[in-house]
Structure 1
Amino acid sequence: MKKDIDIPKVEKVYVAAVKVYNEAFKVDEWNAYLINDRDEAIEMALIVSKGFDKNKETSTIRHKLEHLPAKSFAKIEFIQEEVLALNNQFQVTFFSEGKMYEKKYVFRQNSVNEKALREISIIPNKGILAE
């Protein structure tokens, strides 16, 4: 039965950790973003995030984005500095072109840091793409 379900491969959709300046608090902070680099919009994106390692696990957080236009991005959540020492997983499910897509993105422990910042398509700030 499970073999009969076709879930297409996710391409040109990314999760990135981006360091941005928060005007309200006057500090730099890490935020997770969903990037749609596709030529089609994404509908009803469901994102489930959590941090974990062998000994610890954060609470599970759920997010929903109704619509993410082609070639755009949206903020998922703020990432606390303490959580960056854990693996951070983002399970993303969305609809596009009448099909359901699903992919798991992971930032490995301590992989989100200043030295790892790179240019990312669509987003004007430097960031780190999840695996």
Structure 2
Amino acid sequence: MKKDIDIPKVENVYVAAVKVYNESFKVDEWNAYLINDRDETIEMALIVSKGYDENKQTSVIRHKLEKLPSKSFAKIEFIQEEVLALNNQFQVTFFADGKMFEKKYLFRKNSVNEKALREIPIIPNKGVLAE
């Protein structure tokens, strides 16, 4: 039964939206990153993302990261400007210390913008952390 499964609380793992310069297209763009600020590697990270509001929904996108070392980060996906007007949810499941962890991260609609940029863990650029 689902109620019998103990899923520990996720700590020191974040999803952030960071504006970076794309050399190929010569533009600034938003990208979502998974940040591992834990003292151990996380393994088999599965990320399911989608954008939605009352009237619209994007396609569901799935990503997998075999390993994300301690105190590091990895790009999940490019985020189109139009999608920032929607709620953007990232459901992250991973293994660490022989246990499964799971958490939903949410960027509320229009919360990812230049004015919301802050210092974030590990990544040298400023960004917006998901709730």
Q: In the alignment, what sits opposite 1:119?
A: 119
Q: Deviations over 1:30-55 (max 9, x none)?
A: 00000000000000000000000000
What amino acid is the match of 2:126? K
Q: In the alignment, what sits opposite 2:108?
A: 108
What amino acid is the match of 2:81? E
1:43-54, aligned counterparts within 5 Å? 43-54=43-54
Q: In the alignment, what sits opposite 1:41?
A: 41
State the TM-score, normalizing by the size of structure 2: 0.99
Deviation of 1:3 (Å): 2.5
Q: In the alignment, what sits opposite 1:94?
A: 94
Point out 4+ residue stretches in structure 1 off by more than 6 angstroms: none
Q: Secondary structure at the match of 2:50?
A: strand
Deviation of 1:121 (Å): 1.4
Runs (5+) with no aligned partner, structure 2: none
What amino acid is the match of 1:69? P
Q: Deviations over 1:53-72 (max 9, x none)?
A: 00000000000000000000
Deviation of 1:98 (Å): 0.3
Q: In the alignment, what sits opposite 1:12?
A: 12
Q: In the alignment, what sits opposite 2:70?
A: 70
**RMSD value, Cα:** 0.5
What amino acid is the match of 1:62? R
What is the aligned-residue identity percentage? 88
What amino acid is the match of 2:49? S
State the TM-score, normalizing by the size of structure 1: 0.99
Runs (5+) with no aligned partner, structure 1: none
Aligned-partner Cα distance in 2 for 1:100–1:94: 6
Deviation of 1:89 (Å): 0.2
